[in-house]
């Protein structure tokens, strides 16, 4: 009896919201006409359900076959239930879904009260858990699937879950503000349960996408159910909507399972749309097609559109959640090739939603990789492709520029690039280990000198390891302070050059275009970016300056006609050996086709 009462609670919600005695009587008569198995919770919904139940019973084994005898039919007073006010959420004492809070006393109850176990919100959450457990028990019950001969798939279960959720939420809405708040708790449990069901179905990588699609279906069905019980609705609207959206919609075979099997259905029925008007966001492709003998050009063009978009998709449980028109390619125009009656130019439009954002590989894999081995065509060639700006803007470019890449690698020589006509060489600049070392030494030493000068002025030791009471402020303390201030200025200068990476840049020699570009980073201001450009024909020679001794200098210059010489290496770079500087000068001179000068 408890199962029938739990089912009647859910089924009575829609009728109670309309408060119609005639509808209650019609449902009662429909239930009376239908032969009842031992437990049919949804049998009381409509006359159509009763007819389906009768048909299922009629197809059962005949008298000669062994079958269990039908059990006694429970008596349900639907009319009195429908005419009453919305019933409370109380469960019968013998219900398997009944959950009673333990009644503690003393210190246990005091601690649970501190933990808000007996708060209104906590009680509501536990009550919502009980109600949602009743909903899922009705959705997962095998009786409904046996009576209406439904295949128990995710789509069917989800449609029934949405139907029961609407019944319960509609009932709770009639109970005022508390009922609406209680329904919110149930809806949160529903979201969590659907997420678990989707995860178990094996689409963890697309969980967010499918949850959004399921949310659209949920609210879409809710709107349809609400419209069916509005005062303007006809008498059988609720019956038809529940039958169509709740039971029959998941059972209908989708286009993906009947229309796209190669060699069985005509592609042109779905993918050849000459009336289609292209959008500015469509990717347009022009294919030169040579169909097989006996294949019309419309079928060949539609086949290319299908095989390069959604025609190769495999039918899975989510096919009913996907809008085919949103993803499929469309062959919208076909014209013969002049002078060759067997060839045609087929124009295909692809929506942007079919491809991943910013992925050339994904786009060409779909458009090119899936179609060039298609057996329905004798020959196929991609003639032209129009990529809209909306798709081009999804290519964000590299995450950072040359400067950040240089800082990460900390190895400029590996970033130089040379080809037959272009030579690009990157320069490191001030971010060198030596500059970091001397900047730290000068900064710490300057602080020490300042501390000694300040200690001599104050007459007490500011740093215990630097006794300075015996040092007179004038002149020793003043000199120490001067050294400290000067050292701070020099260290600050070094840190600024490191921060702005002064002296870094690149040299670009383009022999094909005949242009040489020299770029250096400077200090902030009008000379932050130093850019020089010359013609290759104005380069007179490559010069090498070599100075040996205690302070050796090995610098590479480029002599420009009318401009003097421009250094290509830093004047403080001493890591070049004579052989290395000569080798680099020889390679550059050979590349630019100019002589070498040594001085």
Q: Examine the pLDDT at 348 and tell me if it is beyond 90.
A: yes
**Residue scoring higher pLDDT (6 or 149):** 149
The yes or no reply on domain 255-392 and CATH 3.40.50.720 is: no
Q: What's the pLDDT tens digit per position in 484-494?
A: 999 999 999 99
Q: What is the distance, to the nearest Å, from the Cα of residue 224 to the centroid of all Cα atoms in its chain?
A: 30
What pLDDT shows up at residue 259?
Answer: 39
- List the structure tokens of 216: 């659209």
Q: Examine the pLDDT at 441 and tell me if it is beyond 90.
A: yes
Average pLDDT for 179-202: 80
Residue 518 pairs in a beta bridge with: 507, 532
Average pLDDT for 44-72: 39
What pLDDT shows up at residue 486?
Answer: 92
- State the Cα–Cα distance between residues 311 and 524, nearest whole angstrom: 58
H/E segment holding residue 451 = helix 433-458
Query: From residue 567, how far is each of 52, 324, 428, 545, 574 by CA, in Å?
Result: 92, 64, 14, 10, 14
Task: List the beta strands (DSSP E) in 351-487.
Answer: 377-386, 417-418, 422-427
Q: Which sequence spans correspond to the domains of the chain?
A: 2-60+72-251, 255-392, 433-500, 509-598
- State the Cα–Cα distance between residues 568 and 8, nearest whole angstrom: 89
Mean pLDDT for the chain overall = 72
Q: What's the pLDDT tens digit per position in 252-306?
A: 443 334 333 444 457 777 788 888 888 888 999 999 988 888 788 888 888 888 8
The reported pTM is: 0.33
- State the Cα–Cα distance between residues 481 and 450, nearest whole angstrom: 5
Residues 474 and 453 sit within 8 Å (Cβ to Cβ)? no
Q: Name the pLDDT band for 35 (thresholds 50, 70, 90).
A: very low
**Residue scoring higher pLDDT (569 or 542):** 542
State whether residue 88 is helix, strand or coil.
coil
- List the structure tokens of 342: 């067997």
Residue 232 pairs in a beta bridge with: none
- State the Cα–Cα distance between residues 72 and 94, nearest whole angstrom: 19
- State the Cα–Cα distance between residues 232 and 497, nearest whole angstrom: 78
- List the structure tokens of 519: 């770029």
Q: What's the pLDDT tens digit per position in 316-325?
A: 545 555 666 7
Q: Name the pLDDT band for 226 (thresholds 50, 70, 90).
A: confident
Question: How many other β-carbons are positioned within 10 Å of the β-carbon of residue 301?
Answer: 29
Residues 347 and 334 sit within 8 Å (Cβ to Cβ)? yes
Q: What's the pLDDT tens digit per position in 552-597?
A: 777 888 999 888 888 887 665 655 677 778 888 888 888 888 998 8
Q: Examine the pLDDT at 100 and tell me if it is beyond 70.
A: no
In this structure, is the dihedral angle defined by the CA atoms of residues 148, 150, 152 and 155, taken in order, positive or negative?
negative
What pLDDT shows up at residue 406?
Answer: 60
Average pLDDT for 143-164: 77
Q: Examine the pLDDT at 497 and tell me if it is beyond 60.
A: yes
Q: Which residues 6+ apart lie within 8 Å of 172 measured at CB?
A: 179, 180, 182, 183, 186
**Residue scoring higher pLDDT (205 or 456):** 456
Residues 344 and 289 sit within 8 Å (Cβ to Cβ)? yes
Q: Provide the pairing of β-strand 539-547 with 596-598.
A: parallel
Average pLDDT for 469-483: 78
Dihedral pair phi/psi, residue 383, rounded to 5°: -90, -40
Q: Name the pLDDT band for 526 (thresholds 50, 70, 90).
A: confident
Question: How many other β-carbons are positioned within 10 Å of the β-carbon of residue 71?
Answer: 10
Q: Which contacts qualify for 96-99: CB closer than 8 Å, 24 or more apart?
A: 96/2, 97/6, 97/130, 97/133, 97/134, 97/137, 98/130, 99/126, 99/129, 99/130
Q: Which range has the worst mean pLDDT, 44-53, 127-136, 341-350, 354-363?
A: 44-53
DSSP 281: T
């Amino acid at each position: 009896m408890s199962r029938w009462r739990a089912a009647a609670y859910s089924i009575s919600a829609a009728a109670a919201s309309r408060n119609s005695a005639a509808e209650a009587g019609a449902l009662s008569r429909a239930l009376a006409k239908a032969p009842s198995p031992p437990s049919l919770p949804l049998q009381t919904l409509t006359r159509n359900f009763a007819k389906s139940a009768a048909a299922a019973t009629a197809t059962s084994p005949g008298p000669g076959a062994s079958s269990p005898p039908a059990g006694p039919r429970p008596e349900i007073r639907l009319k009195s239930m429908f005419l009453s006010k919305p019933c409370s959420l109380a469960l019968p004492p013998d219900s398997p879904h009944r959950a009673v809070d333990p009644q503690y006393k003393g210190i246990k109850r005091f601690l649970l009260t501190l933990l808000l176990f007996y708060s209104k919100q906590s009680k509501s959450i536990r009550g919502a858990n009980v109600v949602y457990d009743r909903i899922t028990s009705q959705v997962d019950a095998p009786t409904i699937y046996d009576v209406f001969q439904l295949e128990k798939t995710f789509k069917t279960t989800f449609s029934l879950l949405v139907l029961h959720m609407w019944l319960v939420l509609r009932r709770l809405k009639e109970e005022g503000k508390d009922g609406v708040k209680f329904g919110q708790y149930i809806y949160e449990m529903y979201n969590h349960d659907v997420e678990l069901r989707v995860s178990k179905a094996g689409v963890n990588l697309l969980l967010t996408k499918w949850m959004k699609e399921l949310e659209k279906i949920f609210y879409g069905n809710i709107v349809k159910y609400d419209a069916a019980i509005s005062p303007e609705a006809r008498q059988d609207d609720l019956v038809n909507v529940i039958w169509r959206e709740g039971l029959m919609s998941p059972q209908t075979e989708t286009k993906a399972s009947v229309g796209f099997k190669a060699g069985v259905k005509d592609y042109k029925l779905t993918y050849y749309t000459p009336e289609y008007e292209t959008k500015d966001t469509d990717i347009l492709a022009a294919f030169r097609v040579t169909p097989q003998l006996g294949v019309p050009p419309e079928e060949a063009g539609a086949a290319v559109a299908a095989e390069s978009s959604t025609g190769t998709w495999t039918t899975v449980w989510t096919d009913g959640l996907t809008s085919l028109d949103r993803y499929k390619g469309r062959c919208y125009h076909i014209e013969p090739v002049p002078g060759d009656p067997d060839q045609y130019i087929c124009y295909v439009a692809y929506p942007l939603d079919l491809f991943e954002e910013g992925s050339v590989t994904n786009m060409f894999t779909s458009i090119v990789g899936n179609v060039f081995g298609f057996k329905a065509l004798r020959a196929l060639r991609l003639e032209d492709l129009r990529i809209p700006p909306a798709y081009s803007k999804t290519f964000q470019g590299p995450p950072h520029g040359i400067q950040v890449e240089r800082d990460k690698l900390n190895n400029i020589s590996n970033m130089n690039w040379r080809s037959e006509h272009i030579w690009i060489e990157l320069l490191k600049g001030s971010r060198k280990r030596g500059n970091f070392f001397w900047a730290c030494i000068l900064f710490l030493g300057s602080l020490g000198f300042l501390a000694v000068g300040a200690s001599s002025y104050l007459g007490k030791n500011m740093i215990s390891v630097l006794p300075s009471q015996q040092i007179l402020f004038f002149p020793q303390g003043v000199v120490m302070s001067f050294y400290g201030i000067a050292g701070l200025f020099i260290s600050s200068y070094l840190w600024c050059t490191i921060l702005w990476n002064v002296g870094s840049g690149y040299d670009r020699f383009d022999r094909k275009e005949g242009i040489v570009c020299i770029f250096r980073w400077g200090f902030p201001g009008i000379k932050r970016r130093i850019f020089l450009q010359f013609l290759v024909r104005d380069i007179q020679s490559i010069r090498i300056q070599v100075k040996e001794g205690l302070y050796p200098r090995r610098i590479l210059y480029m002599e420009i006609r009318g401009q003097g010489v421009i250094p290509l290496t830093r004047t403080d770079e001493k890591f070049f050996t004579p052989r290395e500087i000569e080798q680099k000068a020889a390679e550059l001179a050979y590349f630019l086709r100019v002589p070498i000068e040594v001085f």
